[in-house]
Amino acid sequence: MNHPIFRAENVSKAYAGHVAIEDISISVPEGSIFGLLGPNGAGKTTFIRIINQITGPDTGKLWFNGERLEEKHLGLIGYLPEERGLYKKMKVGEQALYLCQLKGLSKKEALSRLKYWFEKFGIQAWWNKKVEELSKGMAQKVQFIVTVLHEPKLLILDEPFSGFDPINTNLIKSEILELKKKGTTIIFSTHNMGSVEELCDHIALINNSRVILEGEVKEVRSRFRTNTYNIDFQGSMMQLSASLGTYGELIEHEPEGDHMDATVRLVNGATTNQLLGNIMRTVEVKGFHEVIPSMNDIFIEAVERYNRENLKP
Amino acid sequence: MNKIGLIIQREYLTRVRKKSFIVMTILGPILMAALMIVPVWMAMNDEDEANILVIDDSFLFTERMTDTENIHFFFPEVGLDSAKSQMVASDDFDAVLYIHKNIMSSPSGIQLIYDKQPGISVIRYIENTIENDIEKFKLAKSGIDQATIESAKTNIRLVTTKLDEVGAESKSNTELSMIVGMFSGILIYMFIFLYGVQVMRGVIEEKTSRIIEVIISSVKPFELMMGKIVGIALVGLTQFLLWIALSTMFVSGGKALIQDHFAKDAPTSIEQAVNSTEQLVPEGEEAVSAELNQEAIDEVFASMQQIDFPIILFSFLFYFLGGYLIYSALFAAVGSAVDNEADSQQFMLPITAPIIFSFVMAQVVINNPESPMSFWLSIIPFTSPIIMMVRIPFGVPYWELGLSMALLIIGFIGTTWLAGRIYRTGILMYGKKISYKELWKWLRYH
């Protein structure tokens, strides 16, 4: 694991009578995309605001690149909040310039980089338009540019794809991957689990103010393996279920053209080879692969399990 | 450029470039100039011609009513009724003045019958003339001659002199002090309101457009608030300086225009009218009043030298900004606590009440600038910007001025600190009706 660019140690924060986050410890490796997941109201936004130093934690320590997180690091962090917003009456170019200068870029530097990005996205014509004349998607694009323009080491994106059509979603996705290639670390908060599988290296799942699941995506997914396999075969369903014997149990099945498709869970400590040996004698196996749970399933499973165990009804 | 400088620059430039700013900057002085010039202009144009038929049954006033430039008297030797029909029939006559026989014993009952409403100045002139004449007749009857009266006439004008602790005497002019004090007070009152509300609107705009979260991930909320307050203060200063410059231009331009226009008619009286919108000097006392006027003008100049203009100017700038600053932070706090302007009403009252209170009290203070109440109101930070400015032209000891200014600075730091705490929590709160209890909680967050 790379050396962490950002680390939180036992961070807690409470608002009058209400605990927002409790004892959160995470470590974000440099150059990775880190998924910050959790149901609504879990405390993600509060945690993101603490990283941005919009609010301070009650207890706990925050580290940035080996140093204690402080104001000087703000210029190294880029933040795209979930609720987007720009000054409606201000012109696009002027506004982008202002926001970049606030992040510490010189006017000259900001101008030349803005020019590059506006050309890249093909939006030079918007420079002198007021933001209120733009569509929502257009304004989002401008905001994305403003967020990444100062080349932050750590980029925090809260639901970056909301409000984008599929074409623009792809555009932003490829920009994110390109930024990662350049070495930018990205904290990515979303409810879209598909994009988590696609983009994230690490995740932390926050529920009810605490981190309840953390780790590399691959590792987390294998942790949630249920010894379930998908078998694609030719033959009859009866033959298959008969041949499972004590090695496995059939979970579901459906015909797939001239094939049959069955999902089977291994039981009694059986191995895949034992199972395959049995069924190969009765049906023609066309495909066999492990069913790795999706992040969506893991999310639901982890949250529900936690709530069952920890929250009294 | 540092961040707070950037914020100030943005707040300033976006506002100064707005059409409404430019329109207000140009319209303001035009309105102000119009307010000063139009009444004078109207007063002068109002003296329309009046031709009056006089039916004098007492035979005392025949040929005694002297014509003026606009008022002409005619003495037809006919009865009242035929004079009336003559007036109605012809366009040349506007009114009939009927003086009855027993005018000396019962001076009431003199009638002016008109078909075209005569101006107030015409009526005044007739009343004055008849009054004077009757007085003269009566005096003559009792054997006092005109010369005795003239020599007995006295005109008093108090020369008010302030004696300070070291024993130095200075002549003061109460009216001038009142005008200077009241004018500065009104300007400060306007400035606090106009621009305080702009601060609030700016905060609400950032909050509702949701840009706030982006900005405070770059700068501290307090820096953003201060940048906004200072930026808008500079907008206000710019506007007022432009107003003063433009008003002076318009007023002097307008004055020249009017003078040009009426130069042939009555240059002196017009000049007086333009200089002060006071009523014209009553007829018949012109000789005396001219002399008196000269004296009064000398006195005004003398007391203008006595009024410490550098101090007034300095204090005006200080209280102008100080008054705005102490309140604007509070306006910002209100803006941060609400989601839209309509909701701001409930929190506005505690802010606007002391401003309006000091404005109302200013009229009391101006009549009694040295009373204990005036003293306290000019020391307490929330009322001092307006009240102290009203008092200063009358002369205020330096220690009082110093104390008041020091307290205003402390007050400003206090309200800004307080507002900053509400502000940084409020700007991130959405969709929640905020109560005073809630605000109190925010104050105690760390």
DSSP string of A179-212, one letter each residue: HHHTT-EEEEE-S-HHHHHHH-SEEEEEETTEEE
The backbone torsions φ and ψ at residue A255, rounded to the nearest 5 degrees and listed phi first, read -75, 145
**Residue among B209, B210, B219, B220 with most chain A CBs within 10 A, to mutate:** B209
Q: How far is A143 from chain B (nearest CA, A)?
A: 9
Beta carbons of A146 and A99 less than 8 angstroms apart: yes
Residue A16 touches partner B, C-beta closer than 8 Å: yes
Interface A–B counts its CB contacts (< 8 A) at 63
Helix (H) or strand (E) holding A12: strand A4-15
- CA B80/CA B156 separation, integer angstroms: 44
Contacts of A146 in chain B (CB under 8 A): 214
Determine the topology of domain B50-152 in CATH.
D-Maltodextrin-Binding Protein; domain 2 (3.40.190)
In this predicted structure, what is the pLDDT of residue A130?
Answer: 92
Q: Could A83 and B213 be called an inter-chain contact, meaning their C-beta atoms sit closer than 8 Å?
A: yes
In this predicted structure, what is the pLDDT of residue B285?
Answer: 46
Please give the structure tokens belonging to residue A234.
């030719």
- CA B223/CA B281 separation, integer angstroms: 59
**Residue among B210, B214, B421 with most chain A CBs within 10 A, to mutate:** B214
Q: Which of A280, A294, A159, A267 is nearest to A231 (CA)?
A: A280
Q: Nearest-CA residue of chain A relative to B202? A: A87
Contacts of B211 in chain A (CB under 8 A): 85-87
CB-based burial label for A67 (10 Å; 0-12, 13-18, 19+): exposed
Query: For A131, which DSSP code?
Result: G
Please give the structure tokens belonging to residue A133.
């004349």
Beta carbons of A92 and A134 less than 8 angstroms apart: yes
Helix (H, G, I), strand (E, B) or coil at A8: strand
- CA A118/CA A94 separation, integer angstroms: 13
The backbone torsions φ and ψ at residue A207, rounded to the nearest 5 degrees and listed phi first, read -140, 135
- Which residue's entry shows tokens 């105690």? B444
| Other beta carbons within 10 Å of B131 | 11
- CA B238/CA B13 separation, integer angstroms: 11
Positions in chain B short of pLDDT 70: 1, 43-48, 159-173, 254-255, 258-307, 445-446
Q: Could A81 and B445 be called an inter-chain contact, meaning their C-beta atoms sit closer than 8 Å?
A: no
**Residue among B213, B228, B336, B445 with most chain A CBs within 10 A, to mutate:** B213
- CA B117/CA B132 separation, integer angstroms: 24
Radius of gyration (C-alpha) of chain B in whole angstroms: 31
When CB atoms are compared, the residue of B211, B219, B428 closest to A87 is B211
- CA B174/CA B176 separation, integer angstroms: 5
When CB atoms are compared, the residue of B210, B221, B441 closest to A84 is B210
Residue B211 touches partner A, C-beta closer than 8 Å: yes
Residue B201 touches partner A, C-beta closer than 8 Å: no
**Amino acid symbol at B28:** G
- CA B64/CA B86 separation, integer angstroms: 22
When CB atoms are compared, the residue of A56, A79, A143 closest to B217 is A79
Q: Rounded to 5 degrees, what angle do the CA atoms A236, A239, A242 make? A: 145
Positions in chain A short of pLDDT 70: 1-2, 16, 312-313
In our burial notation (b when 16+ CB lie closer than 10 A, e otherwise), range A200-217 reads bbbbbbbbbbbbbbbebb
Contacts of B1 in chain A (CB under 8 A): 101
- CA B427/CA B221 separation, integer angstroms: 9
**Residue among A12, A58, A74, A102 with most chain B CBs within 10 A, to mutate:** A102
Q: Could A102 and B212 be called an inter-chain contact, meaning their C-beta atoms sit closer than 8 Å?
A: no
The backbone torsions φ and ψ at residue A260, rounded to the nearest 5 degrees and listed phi first, read -120, 150
Q: Nearest-CA residue of chain A relative to B215? A: A99
Torsion angle of the four alpha carbons A101, A103, A109, A111, in this order, in degrees rounded to the nearest 10: -50
- Which residue's entry shows tokens 């949250």? A303
Task: Give pTM, 2 decimals.
Answer: 0.74
Please give the structure tokens belonging to residue B394.
């009358």
Helix (H, G, I), strand (E, B) or coil at A224: coil
What is the strand order of the sheet A154-158 is part of?
Answer: A77-80, A154-158, A185-189, A33-37, A202-207, A210-216
Helix (H, G, I), strand (E, B) or coil at A246: coil
Residue A54 touches partner B, C-beta closer than 8 Å: yes
In our burial notation (b when 16+ CB lie closer than 10 A, e otherwise), range B14-35 reads bbbeeeebeebbeebbeebbee
Please give the structure tokens belonging to residue A190.
């979303």
Contacts of A47 in chain B (CB under 8 A): none
Torsion angle of the four alpha carbons A63, A65, A68, A69, in this order, in degrees rounded to the nearest 10: -80
Contacts of B11 in chain A (CB under 8 A): none
Query: For B260, which DSSP code?
Result: H
In this predicted structure, what is the pLDDT of residue B164?
Answer: 58
- CA A159/CA A81 separation, integer angstroms: 8
Contacts of B3 in chain A (CB under 8 A): 102
Domain boundaries, chain B: 50-152, 173-251+268-444
* Residues A101, A107, A111, A112, CA torsion sign: negative
When CB atoms are compared, the residue of A52, A86, A98 closest to B10 is A98
- CA B388/CA B188 separation, integer angstroms: 11
Please give the structure tokens belonging to residue A235.
């033959």
Residue A72 touches partner B, C-beta closer than 8 Å: no
Beta carbons of A264 and A244 less than 8 angstroms apart: yes
- CA B225/CA B329 separation, integer angstroms: 8
- CA A111/CA A131 separation, integer angstroms: 18
Q: Which of A244, A154, A190, A226 is nearest to A42 (CA)?
A: A190
Q: Nearest-CA residue of chain B relative to A106? A: B1
Q: Could B428 and A49 be called an inter-chain contact, meaning their C-beta atoms sit closer than 8 Å?
A: yes
Contacts of B216 in chain A (CB under 8 A): 52, 54
In this predicted structure, what is the pLDDT of residue B202?
Answer: 93
- CA A298/CA A302 separation, integer angstroms: 6
What is the strand order of the sheet A259-266 is part of?
Answer: A248-256, A259-266, A228-234, A284-290
In this predicted structure, what is the pLDDT of residue A177?
Answer: 94
Helix (H, G, I), strand (E, B) or coil at A71: helix
CB-based burial label for A144 (10 Å; 0-12, 13-18, 19+): buried
Q: Nearest-CA residue of chain A relative to B4? A: A102
Beta carbons of A192 and A269 less than 8 angstroms apart: no
The stretches of B307-397 forming alpha helices (DSSP H) are 309-337, 345-367, 372-379, 384-391
Q: Which long-range contacts (CB under 8 A, 24 or more apart) does A103-111 make?
A: A103/A74, A103/A75, A103/A78, A103/A149, A103/A150, A103/A152, A103/B218, A104/A74, A104/A75, A104/A150, A105/A149, A105/A150, A110/A149
**Residue among B211, B222, B434 with most chain A CBs within 10 A, to mutate:** B211
